Structure 1
Amino acid sequence: MADTQSAVSEQVPQDGADQASETARMNMIQAINSAMDVMMARDAGVVVMGEDVGYFGGVFRATAGLQKKYGKTRVFDTPITECGIIGVAVGMGAYGLRPVPEIQFADYIYPALDQLVSEAARLRYRSSGEFTAPITVRSPFGGGIFGGQTHSQSPEGLFTHMSGIKTVIPSTPYDAKGLLIAAIEDNDPTIFFEPKRIYNGPFNGHWDRPAENWSKHPAGAVPEGYYKIPLGKANVVREGQAVTMLAYGTMVHVCAQVVADTGVDAEIIDLRTLVPLDIETIEASVKKTGRCLIVHEATRTAGFGAELSALVQERCFYHLEAPVERVTGFDTPYPHSLEWAYFPGPVRIGQALKKILKD
């Protein structure tokens, strides 16, 4: 059985990885930077664009050094116009490039919704495959930095509802690099949300602050060369028999810590990609355990957990020993001063585990 404290154990490069590539210890920001660096070196059509991504290297420094290495025509700053950034990216993709636009915070993505939904998501279908929109929209999302209402939202549910868009959320540096490379190579538009609460390290020991850096964590071991993780393949980070816990991003680590503290024999599944969803792995786990707990940071109503709950009910009804439970953010505007109370944490997750195991 996997060690819960490690959350995600050392992994082996897969799917076309350079097996000779040396491994380095990276945090998530460094792994994301490495993914873009690798892809820009492999494919001259990969371009990086966004507000302050050039000389400044991005607000979180995820693009640091790329403009100096690849020049201002491949890594360039844009005006503060999210609609314009994505609109230009869609045109670049139709022309044959592979743009990787950055939206500084997920909260700023709303002005670009029309370009994403009406243009990017539909381009391949409306042109009968003549044109595609191979764009990968990177954006930090979620709370954890006391950024307030306009720097802390989790809007992933919006994009999972839009046909034609893929939605990816990594939980470790290893996954972040492999999934980002896969997204950049994909011919469909992808929203790549990066949980900024774990940009620099995992949350072990204390759920409310990083107790160690990724450099000391097994999941911080990242191949320096090319490798990718297929979109639509979940990761069972801990095997168990009592209950299935479904999570993604930061919540994978919070769930792992709760399981370590309570001793519950839970199976923890990191979804990795919400669309496409690895429903087969979910179904097999729930049919084994008979119970399912879903954890995500976004608001409860119409959150992605509602879709997960419906799918589990439809596919696993006769195997369920208890109702499917959800632990989520609250249905309120993001509470700056009460940020840590808003997050699903040990108390609420622990209460949900007790309830589902009692039934």
Structure 2
Amino acid sequence: MINNLYPLKFTPILKDKIWGGQKLKTILNKNSDLPNVGESWEISDVEGDTSIVNNGSLKGKSLKDLLDVYKEELIGKHNYKTFKNKFPLLIKFIDAKEDLSIQLHPNDELAAKRHNSFGKTEMWYVFQADPGSNLIVGFNQEMTPEKYLKHLNDKTLTQILNFDEVKEGDTYFVEVGRVHAIGAGVMVAEIQQTSDITYRVYDWDRVDSEGNERELHNDLAIDAFDFDMPDNFRVTYDKTPNQSNEMVSCPYFTTNYLRINQTLQKENNHDSFIIYMCVDGDAEITANGSSEHIKKGETMLLPAAIKQFEISSKNATLLEVYV
């Protein structure tokens, strides 16, 4: 069936959020009438939010349809054996006009037991940040459950959180069990396990248009924390042009930084699909006789069955993701 497969693009699923803004529309040209677009789900197999192909002969087919038909040709033999007809990653662009809630995510074991879901290991690549804007990741001191709960109950949680001022290109690996939040003025590309399970522990005491606070999950969250995690969440990586530079590699995904200013002949030596997120410039990706254009703010999926392809650009920055 490989002759049917080609570089796939999907219709973004846009999410209105209390903390969302306008950058996904104004900077990334996402088409929406929503007032506060906080997230663009680029590739999703979350129940109720399945991505739909918007290019080529498979246009109109859902990601679930593709998995049903193409199986390991779409995601790779090992991935299909592990995940069956469930796409393993959720790919997003996020715009925080206001601070997101202070939150964390459960691990696979806890998520499966409580929610019949995967855990939510994730990473962020900052591709725009207003001056002085921050990410919150981890604590600024050694932490115990008792100390954490005291600050939570005293409403002094922000005193023990680690605030990092960020700029374009900064990258963070957020493992399950680590407290975190995207700060106001930051726009990120987010790569994560397919999961929408978030434990919200503090929401800045804000209310919606009807005066209601959002639900908190502190009873669930306390068991999900890993208070002994080292401060290893900041990612350093090379930016050598015209080659894949590893940023994050974990059991759930590998992400590389790829800056291109020429034509590259690429091989997929992984038993996996490859996703390209364009975070700057634009490029042409050619595979299996089909050529597709990708520009800043767009995402493309190369099925696992495509082993040789070409990327051509005068100036583009791509995040290259596979499992």
TM-score with structure 1 setting the length: 0.25
Greater helix proportion: 1
TM-score with structure 2 setting the length: 0.27
Greater strand proportion: 2
